[in-house]
Structure 1
Amino acid sequence: MQPAIIRAERVEKYYSQPSENRIQVISPTDLSITAGEIVALLGPSGSGKSTLLRMLTGLSAPSAGEVYWHEKPIATAEVNVSIVFQSFALFPWLTVLENVEAPLKAHGMEASERRKRSLKILDTVGLDGFQAAYPKELSGGMRQRVGFARALVVEPEVLFMDEPFSALDVLTAENLRSELLELWQNKTIPTKSIFIVTHNIEEAVQLADRIIVLGRNPGHVRTDFRVSIPHPRDRKATSFTQLVDYIYKVLTQPDAQPPALPQTSTGKKVRDQRQMHYQMLPHARPGGIAGLLELVLDHNGKDDIYRLADDLAFQIDDLLPIVDAAQLLGFLTVTEGDAAITSTGTEYANSEILRQKELFRTAAVENVLLLRQIVRAIESKSDRSVPEEFFHDMLDEQFSEDETLRQLETAINWGRYAELFDFDASRRRFIQSEKLHQDADASSTAEIDA
Structure 2
Amino acid sequence: MVYNITYRRPSFVPSSRDSLSGNEKRGSIDGSVTSGSSGMSHGIPDALSFDRIIAGGVCPPCTVRDFMNYLKYIELSAENLQFFLWYRDYVKRFNETPAKEQALAPEWTEVQSEAEAQTQGRSKNMNSDAVAILNGTDFAGGPKVTEGEKVNPFYTPPRTPSEGRQEALSSDESTYESTVSEGKTDHAKRAEGAFQDANLKWKPLSIQPYREEITRIISIYIADGGSRQLNLSSRERASLLHALQNTTHPSAFREVITTVEWSLRCQAHPNFIRWTICNGNRPRVIFARGLGIGGIVGGLVAAILITLSSAGRGWRVLSFIGFMIGISTLIAAWKGMCVVLHGMHHRHLRPWELFASDDEPEGVDMKSDSIESLASANSSNSWENEPWVAKYEKRNLIRKVFDREVWVQEPALRQIQDTIFLQAILGAFVISAVSVGIFCAFPKGNFF
Q: Common fold, TM-score beyond 0.5?
A: no
Between 1 and 2, higher relative CO (CA 8 Å, sep ≥ 6) is seen in 2
Give the shorter-chain TM-score range: under 0.3
Larger radius of gyration: 2
Structure that is richer in strand per residue: 1
TM norm structure 1: 0.26
Structure that is richer in helix per residue: 2
